[in-house]
Structure 1
Amino acid sequence: MYVAVKGGEEAIANAHALLAQRGRGDTTLPEIDARQVAGQLGVLVSRVMAEGSLYDPELAARAVVQAQGDVLEAVTLVRSYRTTLPRFGATEPVDTAGLPPERRISATFKDLPGGQQLGATFDYTHRLFTEAPPAEPRRKPDDDTTMPRITELLGAQSLLESDGGHPDDPEPGDLTRDPTVFPLSRPERLQALARGDEGFLLGLAYSTQRGFGTTHPFAGEIRAGEVEVEFEAPELGFPVPLGRIELTECQMVNQFVGSAEAPAQFTRGYGLVFGRAERKAMSMSIVDRALRAEELGERTGSPAQDEEFVVSHADNVQAAGFVEHLKLPHYVDFQAELGLVRRLRKEAEADV
C-alpha cells in the first residue's frame, strides 16, 4: 500500500501545471482542436476507439489531445469514461456481409466479383515526405455492385470450413462486465483481441509467419466501410437504426492439411475493429487463427497459440499500469531486498 508523503501535494500540482504547459506548446501557434484530430488523424482516432471499446470519434479525438498524443493514455481516458455510461441493452449484429466498402481487396483472387477497390491506403506510396494533394470527394461504391465475400466463393466449392454460424448460438459473454475465465469461447477471445494493443498483436502475428506457429495465412478479403447499427427496443418489438459506424474487417484463409475428423481445406481467421485499422484487423485475424490450433488438432507450443498468454498480455491498459507502477515508491521493498543481498554476501564471505 502507498501512502501520501507530506509536502507531496504541492509537488504534484506543480507537475500537473508543467504538463499542461508542455502540452500547450508554443503559444504563438493556434491550439489544436479535437475536430481537427478527428478529421485529419483518423487512423490514430480509430486505434483509440478500438482499444478503448467505445465508438465515438469526437471523444477519442479529445482524449488524444488531452493525452498529448500518448495512445495508451488516450485509451485509458476513453475506457474510464466508458465505465460511467449507462447500458440500455445490446445492438443487433451488424451485417458486414452487406457492408458497402470504400476499400475492398483480396490477395487470393485477382479477378473477383465486384472487383478490387483500392480505396484510401498507404500501400502504394513510396513512404517519402510529399506535399499533400488536394482532397477529392469520397466516392461511394455503386449500390448495385455485387461484392460477395471471397469466403463465400470458396465455401461454395467446399474448400473452406463453415463459419459456424447458427441461429441457436449461445449469447456471447461480455469481457467488459464479466471476469475473464479460461478457457474462453471464440467470441470472448475475439473481444479480447479487438480491444488488444495493436503493436502486441502485430508482433504475435509476425511471429507466426517466422515459424512460431503452424499457420500460412492468405488475406482472403479486407473490407473497410460504414455499416448501419440497429437496436431493438423492447417496447417497440422491432429494430430501429441508431446510425452508421466505420469498420474494418479482415478474413484470413489458412491452409489445413486435414485430420481424422475433417478433410484438407482452408480454415478461417477473423478480425473486426472500429474505424480505419487495417493492420490491426489483419493481425487480429492471424492471431485468431493461431489460437484455434488446438481446436483443429494442430501442434501447439508457440506464444501466439497460448490463449492465456495472448489474452492476459494483449490489454495495453493493464500492461501499462503494471509496468508504470514501478515508478511509484518502493522504498520499503527495496530496503528489504537490499538487506537480503547484504546478508547473502556476508554469509558467502564467511564461508571462504
Structure 2
Amino acid sequence: MYVAVKGGERAIDNAHAWLAEERRGDPSVADLTIPQIREQLRLAVNRVMAEGSLYDPDLAALAIKQARGDLIEAVFLIRAYRTTLPRHGVSLPVETAQMAVARRISATFKDAPGGQVLGPTFDYTHRLLDFTLAANGEAPVAPRAPAAPGMVPHITSFLNRDGMIEDAPRDDTLPPDLTREPMELPASRATRLQAIARGDEGFILSLAYSTQRGYGRTHAFVGELRIGMVAVEMEVPELGFAICIGEIEVTECETVNQFKGSRTEPPQFTRGYGLTFGQNERKSIAMSLVDRALRWKELGEDFTGAPAQDEEFVLMHADNVQATGFLEHIKLPHYVDFQSELELVRKLRAEVEASAMREAAE
C-alpha cells in the first residue's frame, strides 16, 4: 500500500531505521535487557502473555522491548509469533485446587479454611511516589520460601455444602480453540471465557465497572482470588498416563453473585469465573464479572440491554489486536476512496445550490 507514497521502499527502510533509533534512546544510557524486563516489569509481561495467548515470559519481555513499551503492539507481536509454532498435543485441564498459592484472599469469609495469604499486592500500599527508587535503587530482599503445593480447596465449595450457591456449571465436551477456529455466535461459555481472557484489559475492566454501576444484574463479592503455580500435564499415548511438562503461574477469581431467582432457577448465589496467565488479578476479577453478566440467558434472567449482557457487543469488541488493526488501517493511503467521496460531496453540493437557485427564481 505504501508504494504510492513518495520515496517508496527507501522511505520505508528509513522509517524502520528511525524507529530502531527511537527504540534504543540515548546511547549513553545502558541498554534495557530482556531479563530486566522479565523480572522487574513482571505485570506488563503477564498482561502480554495473557492477551497474546502464549505463556513465555522471555518472549513477552522481548516483545515489550521491541514495541517500545506499547503493550498492545507487544500482544500483536506475540500472537503473530504464536501462529508459527507447531502443536504437539493438548494438555489436561489444570487443577487449581492443587495450586502452590502465593496469594489467596476472600472477601466473603474472614476465616477461610486453609487461611488467607495476602501475598504481593498493592492493596495496602500508599499511592505515593517512592523517590528512593530513583535515588538509590532497591535493596535486595531475601527470597521467601516457595509456597508448598497441596490441596487448597476452593472457598465457594463450602457454600455449596448448604446448597446456597449453584453447582459449578460443567461441560465435558472438548472446548473449541478460539486461536484456531473462528468464533460463531451464539457462543458457548467456554468460547466466551477464552475471548474475555485474551481480550483487552481496559475494555473488560470498563464492562465490569458498568455492571457494578447498574448496567447489568451483578452484585458481586470476591468469593476467592488466588495466584500461584499450577502443574501442566499432558497425556502421552506411549506411556498410557499423564506426565507433568512444566508449571505456569495463573490468577483465578471466582465471584459470588446475588441472585433472587428466576422463572427457571431458585433463589441462590451464582458464580462468575476468571482465569488468566500470571499475576493479573484486576483482569481476572473483571473477567468474572463480565462472565456472570453474559450468563443471563442460562439463568433465566431478563435482558436489560446492558452492554455487558450483550454477547455480540462484548465478544466482537474485546480483542485489542483486531480493534487496533481496524482502527489503524484508516491512516494508510485511501486516495482513491477519498477522491470518489470528494466528487460525490461536490455533486451533492452542486445539486443543492442549483435547487436553491431555481427556488429563488420562482
Which TM-score tier does this pair reach, normalised by the shorter chain?
over 0.9
2:233 equivalent to 1:230: yes
Residue in 1 aligned with 2:159?
A: 154
Matched-pair contact (CA < 8 Å) for 2:2–2:333: no
Q: Which amino acid aligns with 1:111?
A: D
Residue in 1 aligned with 2:187?
A: 184
| Unpaired stretches in structure 1, ≥5 consecutive residues | none
Residue in 2 aligned with 1:245?
A: 248
2:176 equivalent to 1:173: yes
Which secondary structure does the structure 2 equivalent of 1:4 belong to? Answer: helix
2:80 equivalent to 1:74: no
Q: Distance in 1 between matches of 2:45 and 2:188?
A: 29
Q: Distance in 1 between matches of 2:181 and 2:148?
A: 42
Correspondent of 1:137 among 115, 132, 143: 143
Q: Which amino acid aligns with 1:136?
A: A
User: Per-residue displacement from partner, 1:220-248 (whole Å, max 9, x unpaired)?
Assistant: 10000000111112222111111110000
Over the aligned positions, Cα root-mean-square deviation in angstroms equals 1.4
Q: Distance in 1 between matches of 2:204 and 2:242?
A: 35
Q: CA deviation at 1:39?
A: 0.5
User: Per-residue displacement from partner, 1:19-42 (whole Å, max 9, x unpaired)?
Assistant: 000110110111000111001111
Q: Distance in 1 between matches of 2:20 and 2:209?
A: 38
Residue in 2 aligned with 1:122?
A: 122
Matched-pair contact (CA < 8 Å) for 2:102–2:228: yes
Q: Distance in 2 between matches of 1:7 and 1:41?
A: 39
Q: CA deviation at 1:98?
A: 1.6
| Unpaired stretches in structure 2, ≥5 consecutive residues | 357-362
Q: Which amino acid aligns with 2:112?
A: L
Q: Which amino acid aligns with 2:247?
A: R
Q: CA deviation at 1:3?
A: 6.5
User: Per-residue displacement from partner, 1:256-281 (whole Å, max 9, x unpaired)?
Assistant: 11123221001011000000100010
Residue in 1 aligned with 2:320?
A: 316
Correspondent of 1:307 among 305, 311, 314: 311
Residue in 2 aligned with 1:4?
A: 3
User: Per-residue displacement from partner, 1:26-71 (whole Å, max 9, x unpaired)?
Assistant: 1011100011100111100000000000000011001100111011
Q: Which amino acid aligns with 2:355?
A: D
Which secondary structure does the structure 1 equivalent of 2:269 belong to? Answer: strand
Residue in 1 aligned with 2:99?
A: 99
Matched-pair contact (CA < 8 Å) for 1:102–1:139: no
Q: Distance in 1 between matches of 2:80 and 2:179?
A: 12
Residue in 2 aligned with 1:217?
A: 220
Residue in 1 aligned with 2:341?
A: 337
Identity of aligned residues (%): 60
TM-score (norm 2): 0.93
Residue in 2 aligned with 1:351?
A: 355
Q: CA deviation at 1:295?
A: 1.4
Q: CA deviation at 1:136?
A: 3.5
Which secondary structure does the structure 2 equivalent of 1:248 belong to? Answer: strand
Aligned length: 348
Q: Distance in 1 between matches of 2:176 and 2:149?
A: 35
Task: After superposing the two structures, state which structure 1 stretch, 105-114 or 53-62, moved more.
Answer: 105-114
